[in-house]
Amino acid sequence: YSNQTWSGLNPEVVGNVKLDITRESSQPVPRGGKLYFLIFDDEKGHWKHARRHWQSSTCEEKKAESSLVTEVEVEEARQTSSYLIHIRERIRPRFWYFTFVACGIDLKDTPIRYSVHATNDIWGWQSEFSLDHIGLFKVYVIFTIAFCLAALATAWASRWRAAAQDPPLREHPYIQLLTLAYIASAACCGLFLLHYALFMHNGFGSLRIRFLAVVAGIVAN
């Protein structure tokens, strides 16, 4: 699917990008130009340079600065097209940037809907996570359990233990605030845990659950 090879000696395939294109118009496709899907890595001479000169650079210059070029076929006879692109790395993990470039073609009368789904396949069950989120699921499991245990221990020490009844520690404002902080922290971590559990399956998670987790975190603070 590409007309440019990856640089480097024996780069390792670390993930995949699935690109789905849907043409939402019955209008004839303009002739004489091409549509490209470009992938840039975070090297100084690639995305950083291309972004600074994006408005003034030519189509060929954008393609030359990218790490991989994939020509996207927008055919009249086919409404949908799918591409599977392998992401390769050799030196270190990188941030990747995706963009479309229309070269010599005007698509304003040919609406196109697209879907881009990238995965970190070398991370197994964490393939939906970006590198900066790898391991977060385990962290939230640990802290959810820890905050629940801390809340139970505080409740036992201040409410149910005989020595705490005279005077009643549960009525002390500091104890009440501490118990509230533990409960809110446990709720925050539990909600984030649920969000990331959904994220592992669909790549999106739940914005509502994530919002509630942020609210619980604010209460805890």
pLDDT digits (tens, 9 = 90+) for 156-203: 877 765 555 555 666 777 888 888 899 999 999 999 999 999 998 888
Rounded to an integer, the average pLDDT of 207-212 is 95
Q: What does the pLDDT average to over 203-209?
A: 90
Q: What is the mean pLDDT of residues 86-107?
A: 83
Residues ≥6 apart with Cβ < 8 Å to 68: 2, 4, 6, 38, 39, 85
Mean pLDDT of the chain: 82
Predicted confidence (pLDDT) per residue in 35-47, tens digit: 899 999 888 878 8
Is the pLDDT at 9 greater than 50? The verdict is: no
C-beta separation of 62 from 50 below 8 A: yes
- pLDDT value at residue 163: 54
Give the pLDDT of residue 120: 87
Res. 123 pLDDT band, cuts 50 70 90: confident
pLDDT value for 202: 85
Within 10 angstroms of residue 195's Cβ, the number of other Cβ atoms is: 21
Planar angle of CA 11, 67, 110, nearest 5 degrees: 135
d(CA 84, CA 121): 13
Annotate 167-190 with b (16+ C-beta within 10 A) or e (fewer). Answer: eebbeeeebeeebebbbbbbbbbb
Q: Is the pLDDT of residue 2 over 50?
A: no
Which residues are CB-neighbours of 182 under 8 A, at least 6 positions away? 147, 150, 151, 154
Please name the residues in contact with 173: beta carbons below 8 A apart, sequence gap of 6 or more.
none
Q: What is the pLDDT of residue 198?
A: 93
pLDDT digits (tens, 9 = 90+) for 42-78: 888 788 888 888 888 888 889 888 888 988 887 665 6
Residue 24 has pLDDT above 90, yes or no: no
The two three-digit tokens of residue 146, written as one number: 């820890």
| DSSP output for 92-161 | S---EEEEEEEES---TTS-EEEEEEEE-GGGGGGTTS-GGGTTHHHHHHHHHHHHHHHHHHHHIIIIIS
- For residue 215, the model assigns a pLDDT of 96
